[in-house]
Chains A and B, each alone.
Chain A
Amino acid sequence: MKILVSLKRVADPDNANKIKVTPQKIETTGLEFKPNPFDEYAVETALRLTENAANTKQRLGEVTVVTFGPKEAESTLRAALATGADKAIRVDATDDALDGDLVARALAKLIETEKPDLVLLGKQEVEGDANQVAQLLAEYLGWPQATFAGSIKSEGDTALLVGREIDGGTMNLRVTLPAVVSVDLRIVAPRSVQSVHTKADHAYPEGVRFAALMAIMAAKKKSLTEVKLTDLTGDVGLKIKYTGFEPPPARKAGVKVKSVSELVEKLKTEAKVL
């Protein structure tokens, strides 16, 4: 199976206090970046679908990772190559010149030449939380989509059985390939992904895999190509217009109550939870 995974780096949420917000923009210089966690889950899913867990060194498919970003974003791709992806593509762009729609249109064009059987994405990135690219991409491609996947069972190169996380439970969808699937947190639970290569009772360690140090060194030699955004789409206009930026309001200090009855009163009248 040939899988294309779109991933993005995001500002490290642990450094949220370093972010400077002006009314015109969010200042990103000096921030540390890490891969968007949901995208890391998508890479892990792609790897699990293209291997026999008993011998992960032998790859039984092809995983291509794609990112949109500046040169520095290549370390995110190299890290994905180190965990087992086969090749990488960076579409040269800066974050403030992108929105979900432009990314989806450019990805659709890229997919015409890459011809994957499956496109995997994180359900959303944790900066803007827009949650748009997978849905728009499926529409532009005219492919079936299954979003918020918490489990995937491969039925070979023709179809996937996807357990979608929805309010109140799981919706099981069978999608025929090629398809677009976005993944949720539980996709990296030990038994969430069942490929045709791995024994059905195999349990992976919880979470995404760690790259072996040797593979990190070897990832230098894997293919990483650069594509210009304008080569993928002539229309680089954005559908999302930002009218202003402001930091979230600081949390207000709490109050101390003198008695239980005062607490109950406040829960009733102020918090309105009783």
Chain B
Amino acid sequence: MPDFFEIARHLTAEEQTVQRTVRAFVDARVLPTIGDHFERGTFPTELIGEIAGLGLLGCNLHGYGCAGLSEVGYGLAMQELERGDSGIRSFASVQGSLVMYPIWAFGSDAQKARYLPKMAAGEIIGCFGLTEPDAGSNPGGMRTVAIDDGDSYVITGTKRWITNGNLAQVALVWAKLGGQDGPVHGFLVPTDSKGFEARLIHKKMSLRASVTSELIMEEVRVPKEAILPNVKGMKGPLSCLTSARFGIAWGVIGAANACFDSALDYAKNRVQFAGKPIASHQLVQAKFAEMLTQISGAQLMALEAARLKEEKKLRPQHVSMIKRNNVRVALDAARVCRDILGGNGITLEYPIMRHLCNLETVSTYEGTHDVHTLILGQDVTGISAFE
């Protein structure tokens, strides 16, 4: 995919090397097998060691064995991972942004020392339990509770759509402390705790190369030091989501790039009517012109958001805009690319249908397209449409 606005000139030498390195890794290790994993519905656990060895887990965090990348470098890493598959990027997003980040930002020194180096090394995998069967777009409506029982907390509730759930050794579970009216707190729950069960969710048509689970907790007892001490209320989970959504907004550009490149290659070689490649047809050219414009715009927006983040000026609303826009751009591009490939577009011989199916999930998770629409609507009008 052409770097139409030559954003490479805005990248530091290190950021360019990060992008090239992750790209080479994805080409060599992810792309050869990801179609098979998708078809079988398995996550490539054999890659976890190498992904961690590259330093991709929590790579924008500083200290504790993390790579300490710039926000642009982090974005580029997510973009190149998702050029491979949204499931691989989701694995890294959950580990880095949804579990390591809150421990790094809100955890005690003991929690940081216990978890972060091993999570960066891929020796401990984490999952993030916020969404529930009956609390999706409105996570504040969660029913999971943690009851103070002297020297421990007792957690009961069910979490659903939990990426990495059956891979994880630790679950960051968000629960209301004291009862249904209590404040939300985060708890680091070992997944081998008594009363904790992770159940795989089957029959997925999307993110098939990713582990998605339901977490069932029946009176799971954790020690007092399992609570994240430095955050209270929905700010905790929401700040994690802001961090992860930023990575998603970059990541989907990679998925869009993969679809664009595949479709362009196909269109130049597929000959129909008068011996000419379909890339010479006006309707096909119009599709590429539109995709190039939209994907380039998404990339520029992601870059600006990263600069704002580095200047500590990024607001959650910025992230809502790029998550909403960029996922839609990628999803639309994947559909158009699938169309360009005709019948060939529906197979796993090409990456497009796999990305298209994955992006349907990415459009929904971490704040649906519509919820981000309403966040932006509230930002413009000052009136909340949620209440």
Chain A positions near chain B (C-beta within 8 angstroms): 32, 34, 74-75, 78-79, 82, 207, 210-217, 219-220
A216, B24: Cβ atoms under 8 Å?
no
**B8, B55, B66: which has the most chain A beta carbons within 10 Å?**
B55
B20, A212: Cβ atoms under 8 Å?
no
B56 partner, pick from A74, A82, A213, beta carbons under 8 A: A213
Total A-B contacts with CB atoms under 8 angstroms apart: 54
B54, A220: Cβ atoms under 8 Å?
no
Number of interface residues of B (CB under 8 A): 24
For the complex formed, measure the closest distance between the CB of A71 and the CB atoms of chain B, giving whole angstroms: 11
A212 to B24, CA, bound (A): 12
Chain B window 83-103, contacts with chain A (Cβ cutoff 8 Å), 1 for yes, 0 for no? 000000000000000000000
Which residues of chain A have C-beta atoms less than 8 A from B28's C-beta?
207
Chain B positions near chain A (C-beta within 8 angstroms): 8, 13-14, 16-18, 20-21, 24-25, 28, 50, 53-56, 59, 65-69, 73, 77
For the complex formed, measure the closest distance between the CB of A210 and the CB atoms of chain B, giving whole angstroms: 5
Which residues of chain A have C-beta atoms less than 8 A from B68's C-beta?
214, 217
A213, B54: Cβ atoms under 8 Å?
yes
B16 partner, pick from A75, A213, A214, A215, beta carbons under 8 A: A75
B17, A211: Cβ atoms under 8 Å?
yes
For the complex formed, measure the closest distance between the CB of A194 and the CB atoms of chain B, giving whole angstroms: 23
Name the CB-closest residue of B to A32: B8
B69, A211: Cβ atoms under 8 Å?
no
A217 to B16, CA, bound (A): 11
A216 to B24, CA, bound (A): 14
A75 partner, pick from B13, B53, B55, beta carbons under 8 A: B13
For the complex formed, measure the closest distance between the CB of A204 and the CB atoms of chain B, giving whole angstroms: 13
Which residues of chain B have C-beta atoms less than 8 A from A32's C-beta?
8
For the complex formed, measure the closest distance between the CB of A30 and the CB atoms of chain B, giving whole angstroms: 9
Name the CB-closest residue of A to B15: A216
The 10 A-B pairs of least Cβ separation, nearest first, read A213-B55, A213-B67, A214-B67, A75-B13, A212-B55, A214-B55, A216-B17, A79-B17, A210-B25, A213-B59
A212, B54: Cβ atoms under 8 Å?
yes
A2 to B130, CA, bound (A): 54
B14, A212: Cβ atoms under 8 Å?
no
A210, B24: Cβ atoms under 8 Å?
yes
A207 to B27, CA, bound (A): 12
A104 to B20, CA, bound (A): 29
Which residues of chain A have C-beta atoms less than 8 A from B67's C-beta?
212-214, 216-217
A82 to B17, CA, bound (A): 9
A32 to B73, CA, bound (A): 19
With A34-B20, A207-B28 known to touch, is A212 a contact of B53 (CB < 8 Å)?
A: yes
With A210-B24, A210-B25 known to touch, is A216 a contact of B53 (CB < 8 Å)?
A: no
For the complex formed, measure the closest distance between the CB of B154 and the CB atoms of chain A, giving whole angstroms: 40
Name the CB-closest residue of B to A79: B17
A220, B14: Cβ atoms under 8 Å?
yes
With A207-B28, A210-B54, A212-B53 known to touch, is A217 a contact of B21 (CB < 8 Å)?
A: no
Give 10 CB contacts A-B under 8 Å. A78-B17, A79-B17, A211-B21, A212-B67, A213-B54, A213-B56, A213-B67, A213-B77, A216-B17, A216-B18
B13, A78: Cβ atoms under 8 Å?
yes
B21, A210: Cβ atoms under 8 Å?
yes
A242 to B56, CA, bound (A): 46
Which residues of chain A have C-beta atoms less than 8 A from B69's C-beta?
213, 217
Which residues of chain A have C-beta atoms less than 8 A from B25's C-beta?
210
A74 to B16, CA, bound (A): 12
Which residues of chain A have C-beta atoms less than 8 A from B77's C-beta?
213
For the complex formed, measure the closest distance between the CB of B188 and the CB atoms of chain A, giving whole angstroms: 25
A79 to B17, CA, bound (A): 6
Which residues of chain A have C-beta atoms less than 8 A from B17's C-beta?
75, 78-79, 82, 211, 216, 219
Name the CB-closest residue of A to B60: A213
Which residues of chain A have C-beta atoms less than 8 A from B50's C-beta?
210
B14, A78: Cβ atoms under 8 Å?
yes
Name the CB-closest residue of A to B3: A32
Could you list 6 further interchain pairs (A-B, Cβ under 8 angstroms) beyond the known A214-B55, A219-B17? A79-B21, A210-B54, A212-B53, A212-B67, A214-B66, A216-B14
Name the CB-closest residue of A to B28: A207
A217, B14: Cβ atoms under 8 Å?
yes
B18, A213: Cβ atoms under 8 Å?
yes
For the complex formed, measure the closest distance between the CB of A251 and the CB atoms of chain B, giving whole angstroms: 13
Name the CB-closest residue of B to A18: B2
Name the CB-closest residue of A to B69: A213
Which residues of chain B have C-beta atoms less than 8 A from A75's C-beta?
13, 16-17
A79, B20: Cβ atoms under 8 Å?
yes
For the complex formed, measure the closest distance between the CB of B93 and the CB atoms of chain A, giving whole angstroms: 15
For the complex formed, measure the closest distance between the CB of B257 and the CB atoms of chain A, giving whole angstroms: 14
**A32, A210, A211: which has the most chain B beta carbons within 10 Å?**
A210
